[in-house]
């Protein structure tokens, strides 16, 4: 997931009109500067698996060894607001220069595997939650059964987990922490915050 901010900079106009010669209006040129925010896996995605956690005490994902730094979308929104506040005082050119290639990476505070996610859920819910590795086909079938996503959205989710497994999302930065002035929400706190939605009833 990426969000691009853009600033359009218009060059200063030429000096006052020449009263001796008629000139055609100069064409205005706009220069576009991009600033990209890359967002890690949203923690809120895990809410789609609350049924399997509640009923079977299992977290099922097609991830074996891949790692990712899940991030709360609430923290992402707050980070966005903080960035906009900075933009009021500084140009995007300055922000672009202060980050490599003009890119910020919003991640959670910890890199975790699928097994680690289940362990954090177990600690937060005070109930043993098992991790179960499933195939991409089984994963897609589960997402289809819960009936919340379109075919295209399911394909995006499958591709995202494939990227995690291939190590393409194994990145953890302090970009969001610096904007917030504190560490973003950790996975255990997320499960505790949504305890009523995850905790098994028996």
Q: Give strand pairing partners of 106.
A: 39
Residue 18 falls inside a structural domain:
no
pLDDT for position 79: 93
Residue 90 falls inside a structural domain:
yes
From the number of C-beta atoms within 10 Å of its C-beta (0-12, 13-18, 19+), residue 3 rates as middle
The CB density around residue 11, as the number of other CB atoms within 10 Å, is 10
Q: Give me the CATH number covering residue 38.
A: 3.40.50.720
Residue 118 falls inside a structural domain:
yes
Confidence label for 23 from pLDDT (cuts 50, 70 and 90): very low
Give the DSSP letter string of 173-190: -SHHHHHHTSPPPPHHHH
- The first and second tokens of residue 139, run together, are 């994963």
Q: Give strand pairing partners of 36.
A: 4, 103
For residues 158 and 89, the answer to whether their CB atoms sit within 8 Å is no
- The first and second tokens of residue 6, run together, are 């853009």
Rounded distance, CA 129 to CA 131, Å? 7
Residue 45 falls inside a structural domain:
yes
Residue 20 falls inside a structural domain:
no
Rounded distance, CA 154 to CA 91, Å? 38
pLDDT for position 52: 93
Residue 146 has pLDDT above 70, yes or no: yes
pLDDT for position 148: 84
Mean pLDDT of the chain: 82
Residue 14 falls inside a structural domain:
no
CA distances, 109 to each of 51, 71, 90, 182, 184 (Å): 26, 8, 27, 10, 6
> pLDDT digit string (tens) for 163-182?
999 999 999 999 999 999 99
Residue 26 falls inside a structural domain:
no
pLDDT for position 97: 55
Domain count, the chain: 1
Range of the domain at 170: 2-8+33-198
pLDDT, average across residues 70-97: 78
pLDDT for position 113: 96
Residue 27 falls inside a structural domain:
no
């Amino acid at each position: 997931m990426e969000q691009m901010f853009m600033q359009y900079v218009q060059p200063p106009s030429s000096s006052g009109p020449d009263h001796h010669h008629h000139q055609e209006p100069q064409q205005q040129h706009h220069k576009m500067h991009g600033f990209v925010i890359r967002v890690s896996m949203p923690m809120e995605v895990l809410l789609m698996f609350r049924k399997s956690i509640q009923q079977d005490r299992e977290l099922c994902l097609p991830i074996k060894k891949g790692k990712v730094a899940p991030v709360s979308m609430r923290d992402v929104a707050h980070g966005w607001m903080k960035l906009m506040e900075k933009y009021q005082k500084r140009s995007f050119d300055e922000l672009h220069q202060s980050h490599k290639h003009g890119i910020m990476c919003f991640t959670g505070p910890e890199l975790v595997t699928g097994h680690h996610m289940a362990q954090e859920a177990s600690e937060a819910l005070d109930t043993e939650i098992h991790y179960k590795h499933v195939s991409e086909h089984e994963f897609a079938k589960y997402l289809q059964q819960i009936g919340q996503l379109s075919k295209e959205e399911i394909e995006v989710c499958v591709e995202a987990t494939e990227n995690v497994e291939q190590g393409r999302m194994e990145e953890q930065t302090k970009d969001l922490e610096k904007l917030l002035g504190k560490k973003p929400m950790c996975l255990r706190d997320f499960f505790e915050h949504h305890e009523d939605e995850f905790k098994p009833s028996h």
